[in-house]
Amino acid sequence: MLIKLKNKQYLIVDEFKFKCSVGKNGLKNQKREGDNCTPKGNFKIGKVYYRSDRVKKPETELTTKIIKKNMGWCNDPYNRNYNKEITLNKKNKGEKLFRSDSVYDILIVIEYNTKKIKPFIGSAIFIHLTRNYKHTQGCIALNKNDLLVLLKILKPGSKINIS
């Protein structure tokens, strides 16, 4: 199954068209850490993370994981765990997944720079929640109902085309 990002405003899967938002500085071929761009390319869809204290387990065939209080995603290009899930502590700093807002109540990992990881080309690229479609720091954001529908139709091995 292929998800297509169209006109930086819609995710299209089969007959479904979901309004979305992307990185503040648009789409980019040569993404860099902190540039507020969404990377262009074809990527696999990864694991689904969710806050079990806020939402029930999403209906999906994708692998799911509950977000715990000390979970994070390493965005430090100098850390050997760059662009991987980490346990946040004094040594490990990164993007907090257990947030006070609802943005990461449900998220899907976009497998950008997750195999043969290269420092400085971007990390923590997700499909996550939005309430107002404000631009992201490089992720793709959908409203909750649309993300839940998307999760129902995605299959293991699904890919996203961002162009």
pTM of the model: 0.95
CATH number at residue 29: 2.40.440
Torsion over CA: 92, 95, 100, 104 (sign): negative
Q: Which domain holds residue 64?
A: 2-162
Q: Rounded to the nearest 5°, which phi and psi values hold at 136?
A: -105, -175
Q: What pLDDT was estimated at residue 69?
A: 96
On the question of pLDDT at 8 being above 90, the answer is no
Q: What pLDDT was estimated at residue 136?
A: 97
Residues in CB range of 12: below 8 A, 6 or more apart? 3, 4, 5, 6, 18
pLDDT, tens only, 15-72: 999 999 999 999 999 999 999 999 999 999 999 999 999 999 999 999 999 999 999 9
Number of domains in the chain: 1
On the question of pLDDT at 92 being above 90, the answer is no
On the question of pLDDT at 7 being above 90, the answer is no
Q: Mean pLDDT score of the chain, rounded to an integer?
A: 96
Torsion over CA: 162, 61, 20, 140 (sign): negative
